[in-house]
Amino acid sequence: MDFATFLWTTFGVFVTLSIFSFLYKDNPFYKFAEHLVVGVSAGYFVIILWHNGLKPNLFARLADGDWFFLWLNSTQPWYLIPAILGALMWTRFSKDYSWVSRYPMAMYIGIATGIAIPLEMANRINKQLYATMQLIQVDTTDLYGYIFGYGGFNLIDISTGISKAIIFVGVMTGLVYFFFSKAHTGWFGRMAKVGIWTLMIGFGASFGFTVMARISLFIQRIQDVDHWGNLAWNVNNDISDYHIGYLLVFWLMMALVFGYILKEIVQHVKSKKAKIQTP
Amino acid sequence: MDVFEKLMKLDRRWVFLFLIVVCVASYYIDYKVPILPEDESRKVYDFIDSLPPGEIVFIAIDYDPNSMAELHPMTYAIVEHCWRKDLKIIFTALSQQGPGMADQVIRDLSDSMVLDRSYHSVEYKGREIVNGVDYAFLGYKPYYALVILGMGQDFRLPFPADYYGTAIDSLPMMQGVINYDQVACVLSLSSGTISDAWISYGQGRFGFPLFFGLTGVMTAQYYPFYGSGQVRGMMGGMLGAAQYESYADNPGRAMEAMKVQLPAHLVIILFIIMGNIGFFASRSKRKRGEVS
């Protein structure tokens, strides 16, 4: 492993610790890491948009035309139309001509809506409606057969049927809860209450998954820091030439982070003491 | 101030500190957590495992580094499974920083695929993974909904050349591969709304078998699509990744992480219970008028 790889890995760990330091409170290390992420992401996006979007999809297609003829002699001159529409978007920065940007915007939204509405309707509404209103297929002959001794009993069939019934009841009561044109009293109110419980169970499931996701992010950071620690302490004995350099970087980083923590603790204790002394 | 009030006013930093200590300690303690199979993740594995050699799997790397903790282990496990089974892969990335993720997986696994390995007591001989023969990496294009629709007509519409600048038609494995009709399934490993686009503009429009690898935050909201059959199988969060690693008999980072997940979840549940006890106890005190 070369020194540069170790240095970048070390920097990664430093940025990780800087981000996590926000759990204690806002601080310059966190701000630095935050700004770095935002800056790098924005810069990266601009470059990737140019190389993967504008360059191959627009300029490469007009490239066989002469720039001095404004690419009108290109074999695909119609690509100038989206180019002009795109350029018109920039008029938003002018007070006098910002109205011009409404034309490309209207075209963009029109096309997007035209594509989206039929597909969204079919796939997110119709298919979900069919799935909710599926026939509850519980083969009761199995149950009778089990009781009277002439057939099999399939618990899975029954649980699937019960699941479908629960989904149907949950959806209907959930809709009742969001129906505000009628007061939530009597049987209607009781249905709305079941709806609230259904929603709460749904939110609970989402919360559980979210917790898992957050912990997962932390675990990955632990794994990375552990990997870096192995490198720093030369556990795999793969460092030969720059061993002193590695350890120097390691201890510098440690001194920086722990020095800051120490400073924070001292400040905290001082402020506590000051509070006690002031009546 | 009694214990319940103290519970209610517990500084969140103590919770963080306790959680950090538990996570780090459990990471270094050597023990194993059983991975229980689930129907939705099992279906992803079974489908890929049932494909005959030479079939093409379309894998969309639709995530950025901020969600690689959960989705990267899935990608490693699935791609290795595919290549060990002699399946071919078309990679795309519909999120901006996805190409870097895909590139890392391809490079790492191309190296490790050279080694012989045994999974479920079946030995797979090591071999060289060749670009254009075993996989095609088409790269990234902006506006994912349009890209998904475009690929339904012809992969060459949004991707005339692959990530490395080679014309798609000059890649041996892409000969005769026009659109989704020639792939066995689409597997999107996604950390955002791209999954919605795969459902509406992809599966809904072209009808291919769609599978998902999702971050934990997203998983709950995609169960309705799994229930309706629009999504044939899905893996949720790091648990989903661990399950796939477990099915494929290929332990990796996700299975290793489960031994931290378990105690971390227990700690959080403990704090939730403590918080609730504190809340209900202080509320009943207020009702009794003991606290103003």
Torsion of CA A261, A263, A269, A273, to 10 degrees: -160
Q: For residue A205, which residues of chain B lie inside 8 Å, CB to CB?
A: 220
| Cβ-defined contact of B220 to A206 (cutoff 8 Å) | yes
The answer to whether A120 contacts chain B (CB < 8 Å) is: yes
Torsion over CA: A136, A137, A141, A144 (sign): negative
What tens digit of pLDDT does each residue of A128-178 get?
A: 988 888 766 556 666 666 666 655 555 555 566 677 788 889 999 999 999
- Selected for mutation to probe chain A from B261, B272, B273 (highest A CB count within 10 Å) is B261
pLDDT > 90? residue B284: no
Structure ipTM: 0.89
Selected residues 55-84 of chain B with any CB under 8 Å from a CB in chain A: 68-70
Residues of A within 8 A of B221 (CB-CB) are 206
Residue A136, pLDDT score: 62
* First-last CA distance in chain B: 13
A133 in reach of chain B (CB within 8 A):
no
CB contact under 8 A, A130 and B237: no
Report d(CA B57, CA B91) in Å as an integer.
9
Element (DSSP H or E) covering residue A144:
helix A140-148
Judged on CB neighbours under 10 Å (0-12, 13-18, 19+), B206 is middle
Residue range A4-14: mean pLDDT, rounded: 83
pLDDT in tens, B222-234: 999 998 999 999 9
pLDDT digits (tens, 9 = 90+) for A200-226: 999 999 999 999 999 999 999 999 888
Q: Work out the minimum CA distance from B140 to partner chain A, whole angstroms.
A: 7
What are the b/e assignments for A64-98, b being 16+ CB within 10 Å?
Answer: ebeeeeebeebeeeebbeebeeeebeebeeeeeee
Find, among B98, B196, B186, the residue nearest to B142 by Cα. Answer: B98
| Residue among A123, A213, A221 minimizing CB distance to B216 | A213
Least CB-CB distance to A211: which of B236, B253, B265? B265
Q: Does B217 touch chain A (CB under 8 A)?
A: yes
- Mean pLDDT score of chain B: 92
Q: Please give the model's pTM, rounded to 2 decimal places.
A: 0.86
**Measured between beta carbons, which residues in chain A are less than 8 angstroms from residue B76?**
none
**If you ran DSSP here, which 8-state letter would residue B209 be given?**
-
Q: What are phi and psi of A202, to 5 degrees?
A: -60, -45
- A–B interface: beta-carbon pairs under 8 A: 126
**Least reliable range by pLDDT among A163-172, A243-252, B64-73, B183-192:** A243-252
Tell which A residues from 188 to 247 touch B, by Cβ distance under 8 Å.
202, 205-206, 208-223, 226
Q: Do the Cβ atoms of B228 and B210 come closer than 8 Å?
A: no
Q: Which of A216, A220, A222, A265 would you mutate first to test chain B, the one with the most B CBs within 10 A?
A: A216
Contacts of B102 in chain A (CB under 8 A): none
Please indicate whether residue B182 or residue B142 has the higher confidence score (pLDDT).
B182
Report which of B97, B104, B36 is spatially closest to residue B73, judged by C-alpha positions: B104
User: CB–CB of B126/B117 below 8 Å?
Assistant: yes
The confidence band for A27, taking pLDDT boundaries of 50, 70 and 90, is confident
pLDDT at position B208 is 96
